[in-house]
Amino acid sequence: ELLAPEALLQALATGDARGALRLLQQGAVCSGRACDQQGRSIFMLAIAREMPRVALTILASFPPHAAEGINTAELHPQRKDTLLHLLCGREHFDAQVAELFSNLLLASHWSVHVQTNDIGQNFCHIAAARRNCWLLSHAISTNPSLAQLYCQKDSAGWTPLALLARHLRAKGLALQPPPPLDGVQCTPECSQLGQILTLSSAGSAPPPFADLRVEVEDPAAGGRAKLWCHRVVLAAASSKWHVALGAQQAVPALLRIDPQHCSSQKVLEEALHFVYAGKLRGALGTDGQLLWQLLCFSVHCALPEALRQAAVAALLGALQRPENAAVVPVLLRSARAVRLGEAERRFVLYRFLRCTDALAAAGSEAKFLQTTKVALVELDSIFVRSAAQDGRGGSSAAEKK
């Protein structure tokens, strides 16, 4: 091993960045692998002592591909941390550190990326512990295959995602869903409409005053389901249905539900019951897939806001059941599209981070990657606000640019 000059080691040990830079510019060393008595290179020492400008200078002077270039696979002698681990563990993370991390990530081999330290943590564990959402997002944007590291457990059983969830729990955020609705207060007119609703097949005799057939494609029911309804009621419930029905002169009128918005007779019946009676029947139970479809249906068809709120409350309550894990990533990706509030988004975010197998729940690596990026954006916003309330700096991506 090539020992570095004592003056340079002293400057690095005391955090004298100016002195270290001056020695480097004077050519004090001829190799990026020059080290101290413990075998730690000058590059590792610069990172460990939080001197990013010095580390960037060493990297530029001794690139990894050069004969005397730095060793990107270097490990800490005791903890077995990689250089990436050390960078992710920094207290202060600014633009220079971001540049250093980006360069080192690109320059290092896959084996370095997946390397774990002596407690089984990859570099993403360290970033998660530091609440560094920018770094986590940048890593998977640079190399999407790194997403698998976010579900890797350390020696204590923690994944990087679970560590992020622990930060939310420590702040008392999103542990429980918002209180469910006890029932929407409907008007007397709604109660009277509920009395005339008869969700009977359109193949049978129509109920009193029915002048509209509603059809939905339901593969689970073996084909197309047809229900009798009342044109004026549905036209009043949805501006989109008002337009569609206003263009028809025939009696009975026909309303075909777009299968992209609803493909379940049960979901359609639940929505129509709410339109007539002002409350959910509860026939969908805790079926997360059907409740998610009900929420989407209410939003896409511009049905009453009270129905959307009732569907959200029922769905969030159902997310705590393990059989509904696959709904969590979908809901998180679409949270803003279905107009979830801030507290509701935090709860869905927390359920995703705490998911036993988030990758399997997402259905594919591509969807997991997409969901994780959305989660990190939400988390960064939460952490920045929390840091501002605590009177200290945040980890916003804007600060790294």
Helix axes 188-196, 265-277, angle to 10 degrees: 140
Tokens of 77: 């002698």
Weakest-pLDDT range from 87-96, 329-338, 367-376: 87-96
Sheet holding 253-256, edge to edge: 223-229, 212-218, 253-256
pLDDT category, 91, cuts 50, 70, 90?
A: confident
Q: What percent of the chain has pLDDT over 70?
A: 90
Query: For the chain, what is the largest distance between any 2 Cα atoms, rounded to a whole number of angstroms?
Result: 97
Query: Distance (Å, rounded) from C-alpha 66 to C-alpha 103?
Result: 15
Q: What is the pLDDT of residue 203?
A: 57
pLDDT at 209 over 50: yes
Weakest-pLDDT range from 32-41, 233-242, 291-300, 381-390: 381-390
Once rounded to an integer, what is the mean pLDDT over residues 338-346? 93
CA 3 → CA 29, 33, 43, distances in Å? 9, 9, 13
Residue in 172, 150, 204 with CA at minimum distance from that of residue 329: 150
Rg (CA), the chain: 29
How many C-beta atoms lie closer than 10 Å to residue 240's C-beta? Answer: 15
Report yes or no: 32 and 62 within 8 Å, Cβ to Cβ: yes
User: β-strands 223-229, 253-256: how paired?
Assistant: unpaired
DSSP state of 336: T
Tokens of 151: 């579900």
pLDDT at 51 over 70: yes
Q: What does the pLDDT look like over 161-203, one tens digit per residue? A: 999 999 999 887 766 776 655 544 444 444 445 555 555 555 5
Q: What is the pLDDT of residue 31?
A: 95
Can you spell out the DSSP letters for 239-252? HHHHHHHHT--SSS
pLDDT at 223 over 90: no
* 3-class DSSP assignment, residue 199: coil
- pTM over 0.85, yes/no: yes
